[in-house]
Amino acid sequence: MAILPAPADFPSGLTYARSPHAGRRTDCRSLRLDFCQSSISVTPVVNRTAGANLRRSTGSTIPKRSTYNFLGFRQLLLFLCTFLVLLTAQNQPGENKKSVLFIYGGWEGHEPEKCRDLFVPWLKSKGFNVTATPSLDAYLDEDLMNSVDLIIQVYTMSSISPEQEKMLLMAVRDRGVAMAGWHGGLADAFRNNPDYHFMIGGQWVAHPGGTVKYEVNIVDNEDPITRGLGDFTIRSEQYYMHVDPANQVLAETTFSGEGAYWIKGTTVPVVWKKKYGIGRIFYSSLGHNVKVFEIPEAMTIMKRGILWAIGELD
């Protein structure tokens, strides 16, 4: 077997054995594109005289490379990289999430802090960005009001400044920010502001008899907020309210006359939804304190109403 000269860029003393296949002409059209082809065998051999020389010989095999298999591997690698990039972008914190402003305060009897502690963790578990604050000045924060999708307000009585009210009404009416709430935190807030109550769709008037046992009757079984729910009994304040006749009423209650005999048989809405401009409004009169939300129907109605208001339940 003839010895080929060592290339100039290899150390001197290395010798290479000419392959028995050298010089043969191969017809590429006869090759099969798999790894079962004839192979080139390479075994390093130490030249005892040089101490570090290598020669080609028969021995362990290296399969012939397939161009098509290499291209397939590149395509698979490109697909995996694209998938990982898309997955990473999808999971960026705060990316494409809806935002909720949770305003709490006012009269402490309606437990605004406990309501915050009950609902904020649930809102976060649903994937919403939540800003919770006891200050009505949040309504003056133009950047904040431009970024939120829903306002939940638990702010019984108290007062709102003309500028705060103006910014709130504009956000709901003109920009489509939704608003949701319950009991006095929404319908007994800002008693001297009729424009605000026009937006909400009603205003608290009284709760005759104080804490009484009464029945809540579902009147719309097809709406996604009340679908599947039946009438239920509750012991709490039964709200007598002035209401907008344009409201879409989902549940109502009938007064027995206890504490005010002249209203016996009067039916008043308990749960409604409506539009104010392009903004959605949801209200439930249930929720004098957090204990009321231990009643499954009361909690289900409130959670569904919030999701409807923010556009996650239709």
Arithmetic mean of pLDDT, 5-22:
44
**Does the pLDDT value for residue 116 go beyond 50?**
yes
**Does the pLDDT value for residue 68 go beyond 60?**
no
Helix axes 112-125, 296-309, angle to 10 degrees: 60
- Mean pLDDT of the residues in the chain: 83
Name the pLDDT band for 32 (thresholds 50, 70, 90): very low
Is the CB of residue 215 less than 8 Å from the CB of residue 231? yes
Residue 205 C-alpha from the chain's centroid: 37
pLDDT of residue 3: 45
User: pTM of the entire structure?
Assistant: 0.71
Domain extents in the chain: 3-90, 100-309
93 or 218, higher pLDDT = 218
227: CB partners within 8 A, 6+ apart: 221
Cα 43 to Cα 15: distance, rounded to the nearest angstrom:
13
- Least confidently predicted of 16-20, 214-218, 232-236, 288-292: 16-20
**Does the pLDDT value for residue 219 go beyond 50?**
yes
Name the pLDDT band for 75 (thresholds 50, 70, 90): confident
- Least confidently predicted of 32-41, 191-200, 288-297, 298-307: 32-41
Please give the radius of gyration of the chain, using alpha carbons only, rounded to the nearest integer: 38
Is the CB of residue 240 less than 8 Å from the CB of residue 207? yes
**Does the pLDDT value for residue 265 go beyond 80?**
yes
82 or 53, higher pLDDT = 82
Instruction: Write the pLDDT tens digit of every residue in 161-207.
Output: 999 999 999 999 999 999 999 999 999 999 999 999 999 999 999 99
**What is each CA distance from 75 to 32, 40, 70, 83, 314, in whole angstroms?**
21, 28, 9, 12, 42
Q: In this structure, which topology does domain 100-309 adopt according to CATH?
A: Rossmann fold (3.40.50)
Cα 159 to Cα 98: distance, rounded to the nearest angstrom:
28
**What is each CA distance from 80 to 83, 85, 88, in whole angstroms?**
5, 9, 12
Cα 208 to Cα 258: distance, rounded to the nearest angstrom:
7
* Planar angle of CA 302, 220, 277, nearest 5 degrees: 65
- Which among 22, 13, 78 is positioned nearest to 47, based on CA atoms? 13
Count of helices and strands (H, E) across the chain: 7, 15
Q: What are 239's two structure tokens?
A: 């709200």
Q: What are 221's two structure tokens?
A: 């079984």
How many Cβ atoms from other residues are within 10 Å of residue 176's Cβ?
A: 15
Instruction: Look up residue 118 and give its amino acid.
Output: L
* E runs forming strands in the chain: 3-4, 16-17, 40-41, 61-62, 99-106, 129-133, 150-156, 178-182, 202-206, 211-218, 232-237, 240-243, 248-254, 267-276, 279-284
